[in-house]
């Protein structure tokens, strides 16, 4: 395997939207920084509401976490709803939990409305118990989700093994609201939809020197001056404000398309999966019949060979019929996680917002927060936001915590292999 085989999503997303660099100074109602799920959703919904919009992406649309995502369209956060309410308080927690429960419907409705070709499969997800203890944790999570009206259900070990095709699972929590997509293709589709609604997208240019002055947001983009009445920053883990969140890395590896006979018992219902392990494993299929496995960790350092070895062993443990099948693609991305694993909206100034901290739940959450921030800019009201904005926010020791996460993932993967997985 070589790095040239790279990110599967980049290779299969289709052509990028045809955009042009700025050819002069520009004034708009709304400037959006970041061409991922959040920024593109904000640009789309603001343009549909009649605002003039420019979305500025330093690389290409979907370059960051949006194009490196697992592609699971989940409802809610990594935290169970009871923990969200405990941290935020009952009223604020209920507001966020209720908003995010609609994330998958928003995503799949946008895909249908704009005919986005992104391998969308809404067959639900399976949160798989990696052990009997993991199943007990799922029982608690299920009760909390059902308590807020989520249509989830627990399935026992025998049924979970039939639906995943793996003897390694000990039951699962099924969420029919959820599904899978090709995440970079979804980002590209959002960009095309935003452009069709009248938004302008600039790729390959960084917004520099962003400041609020003389009642306008001002910045320099590609040698030109851009001014805007409002600003939304949606760069999340790929922004420059390193003290807002801790970076966590997540890698994925994928096979080449497999023959039907080999795939017959592997996730025959098309669900996407992740497990209850502290250092979680994700596994799914794509439309072409590739098996994709992922976990916490980076692939850019000398010790990352351990992650690669673990991935091959883990895939074969889940699906012994894949023994000897090569993992032909590999990539990793960066997740922004806050200390309490809750997303934040930060007021940057008058009609200026930044949002970050999805903690690995970027598709539904980013799409939803992007729409909500566009609504706040259009209406001048913040009561439609899923969380109350902060006037300031920072975290300490973020580099040390990032190193801790990576070291912990290496240790967990090493320990799993020593135990024979």
Q: Report the pLDDT value the prediction gives residue 235, as an integer from 0 to 100.
A: 97
Q: Report the pLDDT value the prediction gives residue 241, as an integer from 0 to 100.
A: 86
Instruction: Identify the burial level of 325 via C-beta atoms within 10 angstroms of its C-beta, where 0-12 means exposed, 13-18 middle and 19 or more buried.
Output: middle
Closest CA to 344 of 302, 301, 389, 314: 389
Q: Report the pLDDT value the prediction gives residue 1, as an integer from 0 to 100.
A: 36
Fold topology of 3-418 = FAD/NAD(P)-binding domain (3.50.50)
**Cα gap 150→144, rounded to integer Å:** 9
pLDDT lower than 70: segments of the chain: 1-4
Annotated domain spans of the chain: 3-418
Q: Report the pLDDT value the prediction gives residue 413, as an integer from 0 to 100.
A: 98
**Cα gap 10→183, rounded to integer Å:** 9
Q: Report the pLDDT value the prediction gives residue 4, as an integer from 0 to 100.
A: 39
Q: Report the pLDDT value the prediction gives residue 336, as an integer from 0 to 100.
A: 97
Q: Report pTM.
A: 0.97
Q: Using CA atoms of 157, 161, 164, 165 in order, give the dihedral in degrees to the nearest 10.
A: 170
- SS3 label, residue 28: strand
Q: Report the pLDDT value the prediction gives residue 240, as an integer from 0 to 100.
A: 84
Per the CB < 8 A criterion, the answer to whether 170 and 131 are in contact is yes
Beta strands in 133-245 (DSSP E): 153-155, 172-175, 179-180, 200-203, 207-213, 216-221, 224-233
């Amino acid at each position: 395997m070589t790095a040239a085989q790279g990110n599967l999503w980049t290779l299969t997303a289709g052509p990028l939207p045809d955009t042009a660099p700025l050819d002069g100074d520009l004034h708009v109602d709304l400037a959006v920084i970041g061409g991922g799920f959040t920024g593109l959703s904000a640009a789309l919904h603001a343009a549909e509401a009649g605002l003039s919009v420019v979305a500025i992406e330093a690389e290409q649309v979907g370059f960051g976490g949006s194009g490196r995502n697992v592609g699971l369209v989940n409802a809610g956060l990594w935290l169970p709803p009871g923990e969200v309410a405990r941290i935020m308080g009952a009223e604020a927690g209920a507001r966020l939990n209720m908003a995010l429960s609609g994330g998958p419907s928003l995503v799949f409705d946008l895909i249908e409305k704009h005919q986005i070709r992104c391998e969308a499969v809404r067959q639900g997800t399976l949160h798989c118990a990696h052990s009997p203890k993991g199943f007990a944790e799922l029982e608690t999570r299920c009760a909390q989700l059902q308590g807020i009206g989520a249509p989830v259900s627990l399935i026992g070990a025998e049924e979970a093994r039939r639906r995943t095709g793996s003897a390694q699972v000990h039951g699962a929590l099924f969420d029919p609201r959820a599904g899978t997509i090709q995440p970079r293709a979804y980002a590209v589709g959002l960009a095309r939809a935003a452009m069709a609604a009248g938004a302008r997208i600039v790729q390959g240019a960084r917004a520099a020197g962003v400041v609020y002055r003389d009642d306008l947001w001002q910045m320099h983009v590609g040698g030109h001056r851009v001014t805007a009445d409002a600003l939304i920053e949606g760069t999340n883990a790929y922004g420059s404000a390193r003290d807002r969140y801790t970076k966590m890395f997540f890698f994925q590896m994928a096979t080449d398309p497999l023959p039907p006979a080999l795939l017959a018992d592997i996730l025959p219902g098309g669900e996407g999966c992740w497990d209850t392990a502290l250092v979680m494993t994700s596994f799914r299929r794509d439309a072409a019949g590739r098996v994709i496995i992922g976990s916490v960790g980076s692939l850019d350092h000398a010790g990352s060979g351990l992650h690669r070895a673990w991935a091959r062993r883990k895939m074969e443990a889940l699906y012994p019929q894949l023994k000897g099948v090569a993992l032909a693609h590999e990539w990793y991305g960066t997740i922004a996680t806050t200390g309490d694993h809750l997303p934040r909206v930060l007021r940057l100034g008058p009609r200026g917002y930044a949002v970050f901290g999805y903690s690995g739940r970027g598709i539904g959450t980013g799409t939803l927060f992007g729409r909500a921030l566009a609504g706040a800019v259009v209406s001048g009201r913040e009561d439609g936001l899923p969380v109350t904005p902060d006037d300031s926010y920072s975290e300490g020791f973020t580099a040390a915590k990032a190193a801790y996460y990576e070291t912990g993932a290496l240790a967990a993967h090493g320990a799993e292999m020593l135990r024979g997985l």
